[in-house]
Amino acid sequence: MTAKYRTGQSAIHGKGLFAEVRIPKETLIGVFEGPRTKRDGPHVLWVEDEHGKVYGVRGQNELRFLNHADAPNAELDGQELWSLRRIEKDEEITIHYGAEWTDAE
């Protein structure tokens, strides 16, 4: 099976996640993986489970390099990353960090 993504230098910020192949709309791209944590920090994803409990996941796979976009081409559903539209080969895969996120630069 061919990998759907790779990391590379991003024009948005630092490293980014890029499509290795064309990814159709509504495709599972990958799963944000890592140990659970109670502390916030770089590469921590906060997830609300089906019971309304919130937990953090300290990203340890390539999905930790997802960058923000106001008009993203993918979204996280829990820890699963899904394409919102067709993503072309070599296009950066982006998500929206949320309404409360502000660019701290």
> Using one digit for the tens of pLDDT, what is the confidence trace for 85-95?
999 999 999 99
Q: Is the pLDDT of residue 100 over 60?
A: yes
Q: How confident is the model at residue 105 (pLDDT cuts 50, 70, 90)?
A: very low
Residue 66: per-residue pLDDT: 96
Tokens 């790779």 sit on residue: 6
pLDDT at 103 over 90: no
CA distances from 79 to 23, 25, 89, 101 (A): 18, 18, 23, 18
Please state the domain extents for the chain: 5-95
Tens digits of per-residue pLDDT, 36-80? 999 998 899 999 988 999 999 999 999 999 999 999 999 999 999
Q: What share of the chain is helix, strand, coil (3-state, %, to 5)?
A: 5, 40, 55
CATH fold for domain 5-95: Beta-clip-like (2.170.270)
Q: Per residue in 7-42, pLDDT tens?
A: 999 999 999 999 999 999 999 999 999 999 999 988
Helix or strand or coil: residue 95?
A: strand
Residue with tokens 């791209």: 29
DSSP code, position 66: P
